[in-house]
Chains A and B, each alone.
Chain A
Amino acid sequence: MQIEPTQVVARFEICRSGFIAADGKVGAELPAFARERATLVALYRSMVLTRAFDAKAVALQRTGRLGTYASSLGQEAVAVGLAHPMTPEDVLLPSFREHGSQLMRGVSMKELFLYWGGDERGNDFAGPRRDFPVCIPIGSHAPHAAGVALALKLRGEGGAAVAVFGDGATSKGDVYEAMNLAGAWQLPLVFVVNDNQWAISVPRAAQTAAETLAQKAIAAGFEGLQVDGNDVVAVAHAVGEALRKARSGGGPTLVEALTYRLADHTTVDDASRYRDDAEVAGHWKEEPVARLRAHLVAEHGWTKDEEEALIEACAAEVEAGSEAYLAQPPEPPEAIFDHLHAELPTALAGQRSRMLEEAAR
């Protein structure tokens, strides 16, 4: 064999897309769905509702009526955008900041409050029966998504799995292992990186030397792309295209949605310990809800009355969900035994009885 001079054997590029700028103006030709007022209003409603839910959850936590809660403030466009193109046949495997996605999938607000309020029944979704509950350990649900996608492929059902995780999760082996398999087996799977720049106190730049998180897909052999994660149209468009590709046998895609965590990591975190107020203030100018509102006002004649009616309707919905949650009596204590296995093992029957005796005292 002849020795060749050094050759380039692989090249890659990562593209970023966005349609609606921070001031609401259109910067690139909108996809068809984003030209329809009704669709945009529906997306806007979901984002406003998510933000209202979020505010209520924090308020409930502050008054001792909810557990530790992970706010999605400022990231509504990622959650809502990714859920918009999903169908009931698809399966969502969320991280813990996709409340907006879960609401759009049909998880009830009461169920969300129940889960964050410390009641497992919040994960027994009345609606999307196959969607996964949130994954608290970082990125360890990515392999589940590969399993779900394999199941969908084996059954030829046509749906796709959508796994969502944060920027920090891309540092983990689980995420790469799942991506690697999804590429090798061409699974119908969409990975969405909710890139909010901070993994608790560790900034994105300290997480990896890679210029983008999207390029992590390149090593696994499939397309990775970036979108403006504060532009709900950009997220919905990219995930929609990725889903189309996945469903038609084109394999996985990774969508990195660039956004910003405007809130603390959770209600027990104090982000002022590790990041500047000035940085946060700067990102408020990019945030997704005001952006779409500005666009609706400028391009679709969104009125003050419509805005007020929407705010009121969302507040009422959140209030109803919260009241339903607060009115829910706790499960009986034996529930901790009764759902561990399909049938109560004989060996646990004694422990269950002892617990009930203690509870009766």
Chain B
Amino acid sequence: MTAAGLTMVEAIDLALARAMAEDPTVVVLGEDVGKDGGVFRATDGLLARFGPQRVFDTPISEALIGGLPVGLAAMGFRPVVEIQFMGFIYPVIDQLVNHAARLRNRTRGRLSCPMVLRAPYGGGIHAPEHHSESMEAIFAHVPGIRVAIPSSPAKAYGLLLAAIRDPDPVVFLEPKRVYRAVREPVSDDGRALPLDRAFVLRQGGDLTLVSWGAMLVETLAAAEALAEEGVEAEVIDLATLKYFDADTVLGSVARTGRCVIVHEAPLTAGFGAEIAARLAGEGLMHLLAPVERVAGWDTVMPLPKLESRYMPSAERIVAAARRALEYR
């Protein structure tokens, strides 16, 4: 940890190094993760420190990168796999859905698959085509895997350690817009943050804002803007989408009666729909206004020139909050 704190990329690197140091079965695989240290440098220095028996540059071969860890994990290793961008993760889905997620269940526990699939995701950094999508709901739908999304360097460190130590497969999606945008102190104490648990980033009694990943930047900015108008918004960082912490969300909405869900993924069948459905099913009597969703449009993620038109802004979140607050 430096005096100024760490970026998310540095925190991920630190967590990987810590996990590899404490557990010799942890291995790191992917394209360019070795000498290059990953295209975002999230695996920087691992090859030099742990050697070629622990850090593997694979051919550019995504079905393989998805399937190789299934064999390794079944044999007692804990592979942490990097897919360079979420847009390249689709060939991995077959392996994840048909094999990694099912191995423990279909062998009644004889074999298991404690792998972590890491991928940078999301927009806002003017990346090329196929680099900026936010398709986390696809993974959250798959039985047998967890989906964790850190929102800050410290969360990345703690959640990644938890993901690696988890005895089952975890998809770990890293909001690359946050990779270098902020620094915060990260203590390399080897302490994991709990999976399946949401974090309350800001307390407030007037309204609940729920989000995850990079969208918490806009969500917190919206909460700040609302505070200036005298509205106290509670901000929840969902952190783990699968299995999401419904108790924290329902508990908050029971107090505030109003909820805005924010994600940059497309609206329809996005993970916000699941939260809204749970609120409708289990929190209806507490709701004072319809649940609002601020999301990406149901369009293809545009190329950089229009991406700011696609992604939810703090203004859109504030507008949704006002609608929820004014509903009678």
A residues near B (Cβ < 8 Å) are 91, 93, 120-121, 123-125, 129-130, 132-133, 137, 140-152, 154-155, 161, 173-174, 177-178, 180-181, 184, 335-336, 339-343, 345-348
Q: Which secondary structure dominates chain A's binding surface?
A: helix
Cβ B67 vs Cβ A123 within 8 A: no
Q: What are the residues of chain A within 8 A of B73 when measuring CB–CB?
A: 147
Q: Map CB proximity to A onto B108-127 as digits: 1 under 8 Å, 0 otherwise.
A: 11111000000000000000
B50 to chain A, nearest CB (A): 12
Contact code string B272-316 (vs A, CB < 8 Å = 1, else 0): 000000000000000000000000000000000000000000000
Residue B53 at the A interface, CB < 8 A? yes
B75 at the interface (CB under 8 A from A): yes
Question: How many B residues touch A, CB cutoff 8 Å?
Answer: 42
Name the residue of chain A whose CB is nearest to the CB of B107.
A123
A147-B71, A147-B73, A148-B75 known; A178 vs B64 contact (CB < 8 Å): yes
- Asked whether, in the complex, the Cβ of A342 is within 8 Å of the Cβ of B71, the reply is no
Alpha-carbon distance between A240 and B8 when the two chains are bound, in angstroms: 50
- Distance between A68 CB and nearest chain B CB, rounded to angstroms: 16
Contacts A120-B106, A340-B105, A342-B104 known; list 17 others, CB within 8 Å.
A93-B71, A120-B105, A130-B75, A133-B106, A133-B107, A133-B111, A174-B63, A174-B64, A174-B67, A174-B94, A181-B59, A340-B104, A341-B167, A341-B168, A345-B243, A346-B243, A347-B196
Bound CA–CA A85/B159 (angstroms): 45
Q: Check if B143 is an interface residue, CB within 8 A of chain A.
A: yes
Nearest 4 Cβ contacts at the A-B interface: A147-B71, A143-B67, A347-B243, A151-B75
Is residue B68 within 8 Å, beta carbon to beta carbon, of the partner chain?
Answer: yes
Chain B positions within 8 Å of A, measured between CB atoms, are 27, 53, 58-59, 61, 63-64, 66-77, 79, 91, 94-95, 98-99, 104-112, 143-144, 167-168, 196, 243-244, 246
Please tell me if the beta carbons of B143 and A340 are within 8 angstroms of each other in the complex.
Answer: yes
Evaluate contact between B99 and A147: CB separation under 8 angstroms. no
B71:A181 contact, CB within 8 angstroms: no
B105 near A146: Cβ-Cβ < 8 Å: no
The answer on a CB contact under 8 Å between A147 and B69 is yes
CA distance A147 to B167 in the complex (A): 18
Contact of A341 among B98, B99, B144 (CB under 8 A): B144
Contact status A140-B71, CB under 8 Å: no
Residue of A nearest to B282 (CB): A350
Q: Inside 8 A of B66's CB, which chain A residues have their CB?
A: 143
Q: Are A147 and B72 in contact, with the CB atoms below 8 A?
A: yes
Quote the shortest CB–CB distance from A116 to chain B (angstroms).
13
* Chain B residues whose C-beta falls within 8 Å of the C-beta of A348 in the assembled complex: 243
- The reply to whether A144 and B99 contact each other, CB–CB distance below 8 Å, is yes
Q: Which residues of B are found within 8 Å of A93, using beta-carbon distances?
A: 71
Chain A hits for B167, CB < 8 A: 341-343
Evaluate contact between B75 and A181: CB separation under 8 angstroms.
no
